[in-house]
């Protein structure tokens, strides 16, 4: 569970950094001039793509659309994928839509949120939130965590980075596969 907590945190923190990077440096984005201006967005970007390297961590964010709402202090994202490469494994987090809250760097992903890792871990939910101030990842929506060694389901998830704890709550069911002795 400790690796799960750390892994989820690494991916969410990287995702937040990626989205902030998109806002600050829109390197490979195209301004969507054809987007209807009925939206109150201050800036609309389509096909946003940014790559960064931070120490041993590399990431790539792709979003079909990013709409910046300066007065509201948020950026709305559509069809978001973030790929994170660590020395020991890679992570991919996807969501249908999301919101980045600028002042706090809090993040919320919604709609078929899927987090996968190269070591076989997969987390499925409908909403996943990151509180930068509290260093906390959580959802009040049902979760399913699968790994080659087992499956955990519950009605909520909370990961507290500073305490290095992961809690799956509600009606929790855990099934672990017995591995033959070597």
Average pLDDT over all residues of the chain: 81
Q: Which domains does the chain have, with CATH numbers?
A: 2-32+60-176 (2.60.450.10)
Q: What is the tens place of the pLDDT at every residue in 77-104?
A: 999 988 888 888 888 889 999 988 888 8
Measured at the alpha carbon of residue 131, what is the angle toward residues 134 and 10, in degrees to the nearest 5? 95
pTM: 0.74
Q: What is the DSSP string of 20-69?
A: HHHHH--TT-EE-TTS-TTS--SEEEEEEEEEEEETTEEEEEEEEEEEEE
Count Cα atoms within 13 angstroms, Cβ side, for 59.
24
Map residue 181 onto helix, strand or coil: coil
**From 17-26, 93-102, 140-149, 173-182, the region with the lowest mean pLDDT:** 17-26
């Amino acid at each position: 569970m400790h690796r799960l907590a750390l892994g989820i945190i690494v991916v969410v923190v990287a995702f937040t950094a990626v989205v902030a990077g998109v806002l600050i440096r829109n390197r490979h984005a195209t301004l969507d001039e054809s987007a209807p201006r009925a939206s109150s967005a201050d800036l609309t970007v389509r096909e946003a793509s940014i790559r960064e390297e931070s120490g041993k961590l590399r990431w790539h964010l792709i979003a079909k659309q990013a709409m910046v709402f300066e007065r509201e202090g948020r950026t709305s994202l559509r069809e978001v994928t973030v790929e994170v490469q660590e020395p020991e494994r890679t992570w991919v987090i996807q969501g249908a839509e999301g919101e980045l809250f600028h002042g706090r760097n809090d993040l919320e992903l919604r709609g078929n949120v899927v987090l996968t890792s190269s070591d076989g871990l997969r987390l499925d939910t409908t909403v996943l939130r990151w509180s930068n101030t509290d260093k906390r990842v959580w959802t009040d929506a049902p979760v399913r965590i699968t790994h080659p060694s087992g499956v955990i389901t519950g009605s909520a998830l909370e990961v507290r980075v500073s305490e290095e704890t992961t809690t799956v709550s509600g009606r929790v069911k855990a099934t672990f596969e017995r591995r033959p002795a070597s």
